[in-house]
Amino acid sequence: MTENINQNPEQIARDKIDEMLREAGWLVQSKKKVDLSAGKGVAVREYQTDVGPADYVLFLNRKPVGIIEAKREDEGHRLTVVEEQSSNYANAKLKYLNNDPLPFVYESTGTITRFTDYRDPKPRGRNVFSFHKPETIAEWLKKGKSLRERLLSIPALDETGLRPAQIVAVNNLEHSFKKNRPKALIQMATGAGKTFTAATFVYRLLKHADAKRILFLVDTKNLGEQAEQEFMTFQPNDDNRKFTELYNVQRLSSSYIASDSQVCISTIQRLYSILKGEELDESAELDNPNENSWLQNKMSKNKAVPVEYTPKVPIEQFDFIVIDEAHRSIYNLWKQVLDYFDAFLIGLTATPDKRTFGFFNENVVSQYTYEESVTDGVNVPYDVYTIETEISQKGETIKAGWFVDRRDKLTRKKRWQQEDEDTEYKRNDLDKKVVNPSQIRNIIREYKKALKTTIYPNRIDENGDYEVPKTLVFAKTDSHADDIIKIIREEFDEGNDFCKKVTYKIEEDPKSVLNRFRNSYYPRIAVTVDMIATGTDVKPLEVLLFMRDVKSINYFEQMKGRGTRTINSDSLQLVTKTAKTKTHFVIVDAVGATKSKKTDSRPLERKKSVPMKDLLGAITMGVADEDLFLSLANRLIRLEKQITEKEKDRLLEFSGGKNLKQITKELITAFDQDEIETKAKIEIDKIPVQDQTPALIEEAKKEAQEQLILEASKTFNGELNGYLDNVRKQHEQIIDSVNIDTVTKSEWETTSVDKATEIVKDFTEYLEDNKEEIKALSIFYNQPYNRRDITFKMIKDVMEKLQLEKPLLAPDYVWNAYATLEDVKSKQPKDELTALVSLIRRACGIDSELKAYDKTIENNFKTWIFKQNAGQHNRFTKEQLDWLRMIKDHIVSSYHIEIDDLDYTPFDAKGGKGKMHQLFGNQMNEIINELNEVLAA
């Protein structure tokens, strides 16, 4: 649409408004040529009312439904002041009609548009991208009450099956909806069930507020698939059918949005491409777009391609948009996608930054931090174990004259070469320029040793073998991951199944490997570069081994989140037989990731050198920017001179037969004015000369350029991008097999020692605080002579109270804390209650060191027997000794024995109370009392 330079500002605004109305499906008519039958929705200009002419009156099926008050562009800042004027028109009587007040009211400059639905409980204007379609307004009227009014009647939440933090989140969010707050943020720790919470409120909005369609927005395909799974398994409390049996859930894999879908799951990249009328290659959905430095750089300079009105996807397409991982990809270029829709926005994130709070108008409806989730037992805490090696810290030098392997990064083919000069490499060059197998080997070897001696020492199976806990290793690159896997298999003396790679680039289906890692015994160790760094549940995970550093605090928190998930003991033991309970997880830090400086989020100001991968990603996203096309063309011209003939042939397989010269030419041509004019002229020449207006010529040029841009950009796809990105990287790595590494540090991080001190202190204080209230504790602390009376039930009571009030102080975890602080010689008892008694005895000072209580009973029994025999020269017969051992075993498992216990297993099979009386006569009661007292000493 071209503007006439002679038009006044009011007229320019009207032309823009007319265009917007037509795009949204309204017929625009002047008051002199009114024909209300011409279509479903008609907008009549300058319609007379009893308070003067309204700029536009909207008619739906011949009946008036709304008005538009038009203002010139420079009055955009005054639109809220204009609301009174537009409201007067809406409440006026229209000429010839005895109408009720009109509910739908807009104020617009053609650039800024505001909208108020006067059917709302407290009508409040809001900015909208454009006008709503006539069909939508018809639907709204048919439903009677407005969405904001329907929200007021959502019934109270049935809290069954929901965690306290989820209940708070849903209730507060619905309260925010009822107050008509357009944006809300739910901050919920990773592992606390964000998607389940979302499925809960989405179900309630569909059922109780009659929401038409809800969008669940993610920024990677992987997160979209997970959300789809969550909706498929979600079953509401008030219905015995699954969510997907009640509502249609569609995960978008093209630009088609089904008219009958009530929940759409999409990446923000795909939605952006849909609003620009383009298809998107699925490879553009694999990476989080917030990581693309070219897009970040461009967006910081405000060169983002603007989103335009798309009739196929109107602004009212969604009533609500749920934004997963809302701290990431909703700013700059992507913010327009959210600004486009007239919808409530709900953010979900574990790690918000300042921008996130700002974007959601600081309306944080619930905050549930990782620390709170740990205190509640929803997540588990972590300890840090550090491994450092000489070369990891300082690097090394490959000397001239040495013979070393040089390895091709892509084919991994090696060649043997004598070095001409010294090559010094620093820690940051490792696994990029230089690979030192000894450095990787020493970390893995030390990890294996530390597992058995310190990290999880009690993991010996029935065959006497050590069972490795489920471990996830974060590697720098695919090549690095391959090196790690090879060495892990060797060092652990295991086969292929033991350790697997889980990334998007593996030959096996990554989902299948991930599922096995999650639910089966093998693999015990998985190595990943990108895929399960964020948003993927693997509940049995007990160790995260960092072999790559991370600079973004949010990304680091997300990676840590992989280990925080709780899991019940039975499920854990299905995949790790020797594990009792998951009380914590361990970060093994081999690169200083827990200590390195982290930034709040990615900086927007970047140096000019943008990675090739990011340029390719931006083109695949459909960004049509001259800088981008020319930057990429320059890189490809350089690349064409560097690559081999063989590599050029291979490239044709991915590019649809186009060589680099052709691809480069198309990129340059797309912004070459001469080429654009030549192409446009072919179309213009088909039109009679008298009809060739300047506007038409401009339109032809625009179309010609769009075709050239499309032609150039559609060549790029996931496979071609991957090939171009890899083939241009430094081809070879030096394999330094000469410099042997040594471990310089292998210990719990001081924070873990501090944490252990804190745990022991908490446990001791908890026992002290409850010693009057809990009978068993009262005896331990105040009446040591009555310890013989402590029963199994009393200890169980302590355990149950502890689990309820302080789930973090599980015996397993407290035992490990003591083991971190002092030399614990005893192995932890298999039975949790026995471990608890051992810990209570240590905490209240009965034992000066932590000892397994079952072993204490054994030792006390031996001492007692020895004394009996020494005093009276083998006082007991063999049969009597067998009975005494049975009593001792009973006290090991039940802490106490009563005369009546002799009528039950295992005593009843040996003759019970009668038999004991026969063996010990009148000494029977005395011996039972004595054993209760002596063994509990």
- Order of strands, sheet of 382-389, starting from the edge strand that comes earlier in the sequence: 499-501, 525-528, 471-474, 543-546, 585-589, 382-389, 743-748
Question: What is the reported pLDDT for 2?
Answer: 45
Q: How far is CA 691 from CA 688, 704, 705, in A?
A: 6, 19, 21
Q: What is residue 473's predicted lDDT score, i.e. its pLDDT?
A: 95
Distance CA 839, CA 842 (A): 5
How far apart (Å, rounded) are the C-alpha atoms in residues 167 and 888?
A: 49
Evaluate if residue 535 carries a pLDDT over 60.
no
Residue-level pLDDT at 900: 84
β-strand partners of 586: 383, 543
Full DSSP string of 837-882: HHHHHHHTTSSSS---HHHHHHHHHHHHHHHHHHHHTS-S-HHHHH
Tell whether the model's pLDDT for residue 40 goes beyond 50.
Answer: yes
* Predicted local distance difference test score (pLDDT) of residue 296: 56
99 or 689: which leads in pLDDT: 99
The Cα 650–Cα 654 span in angstroms is 8
Nearest CA to 817 out of 863, 880, 763 is that of 763
Given a cut of 50, whether residue 603 has pLDDT beyond it is no
- pLDDT of residue 372 exceeding 90, the answer is no
DSSP helix/strand/coil, 214: strand
Mean pLDDT of the chain: 86
> Among 293-307, 431-445, 451-465, 698-712, which stretch is predicted with the lowest mean pLDDT?
293-307
Q: In this predicted structure, what is the pLDDT of residue 214?
A: 97
Contact 733, 409 (CB under 8 A): yes
d(CA 7, CA 856): 98
Q: What is the mean pLDDT of residues 84-88?
A: 90
The tokens describing 604, both together, are 């927007």
Pick from 53-67, 795-809, 864-878, 886-900: least confident:
864-878
- Helical H segments across 209-267, by residue range: 221-233, 243-246
Say whether pLDDT at 293 is over 80. Answer: no
**pLDDT single digits (tens) 721-746:** 888 887 766 567 888 988 999 999 99
The arithmetic mean of pLDDT across residues 671-693, rounded, is 84
In 3D space, the residue among 85, 92, 59 whose CA is nearest the CA of residue 70 turns out to be 85
Regarding predicted confidence, which is higher, 407 or 209? 209
Whether the per-residue pLDDT at 498 is higher than 90: the answer is: yes
Question: Is the model's pLDDT at 902 over the cut of 90?
Answer: no
Residue 428's pLDDT is what?
Answer: 84
Given this model, what pLDDT does residue 300 score? 47
What span, in angstroms and rounded, lies between the C-alpha atoms of 724 and 722?
A: 6
Q: How far apart are CA 674 and CA 566, in angstroms?
A: 64
| Number of neighbouring beta carbons within 10 Å of residue 936 | 23
Position 819, amino acid: A
Q: What is the pLDDT of residue 511?
A: 77
* Model pLDDT, residue 295: 62
Of the ranges 165-174, 179-188, 564-573, 921-930, which one carries the lowest mean pLDDT score?
921-930
Lowest model confidence (mean pLDDT) among 228-232, 527-531, 705-709, 845-849: 527-531
How many whole angstroms separate alpha carbon 446 and alpha carbon 679?
66
Cβ neighbours of residue 239 closer than 8 Å, sequence gap 6 or more:
246
Residue 279 has pLDDT above 50, yes or no: yes
Tokens of 646: 């063989």
pLDDT, one tens digit per residue, over 105-141 is 999 999 999 999 999 999 999 999 999 999 999 999 9
Choice between 872 and 114, residue whose per-residue pLDDT is larger: 114
Under 8 Å between Cβ of 25 and 41: yes
Average pLDDT over residues 531-547: 79
In this structure, what token pair is assigned to residue 793? 């039930």
* Percent of all residues in the chain with a pLDDT value above 90, rounded to a whole number: 36
* Model confidence band, residue 147 (pLDDT cutoffs 50, 70, 90): very high
Compare 419 and 258 and report the one with higher pLDDT.
258
Over range 242-250, report the average pLDDT: 95
CA atoms in the 13 A half-sphere facing the CB of 222: 18
Average pLDDT (558-580) is 88
Residue 679 pLDDT > 60, yes or no?
Answer: yes
Say if residue 298's pLDDT is above 60.
no
Q: What is the DSSP letter of 455?
A: I
Per residue in 2-26, pLDDT tens? 444 557 888 888 999 999 999 999 9
Query: What is the C-alpha end-to-end distance of the chain, expressed in Å?
Result: 94
Environment class of 433 (CB within 10 Å of its CB; exposed 0-12, middle 13-18, buried 19+): middle
What percent of the chain stands above pLDDT 70?
Answer: 93
Which of 1-10, 435-444, 927-936 has the least mean pLDDT? 1-10
Reported confidence tier of residue 607, pLDDT bands at 50, 70, 90: very low
What is residue 473's DSSP assignment? E
For 637-659, b where at least 16 C-beta lie within 10 A, e where not — what string? eebeeebeeeeeeebeebbeebe
Which pLDDT does position 255 carry in this prediction?
83
Distances (CA, A) of 464 to 33, 453, 880: 93, 15, 34
pLDDT at 251: 94
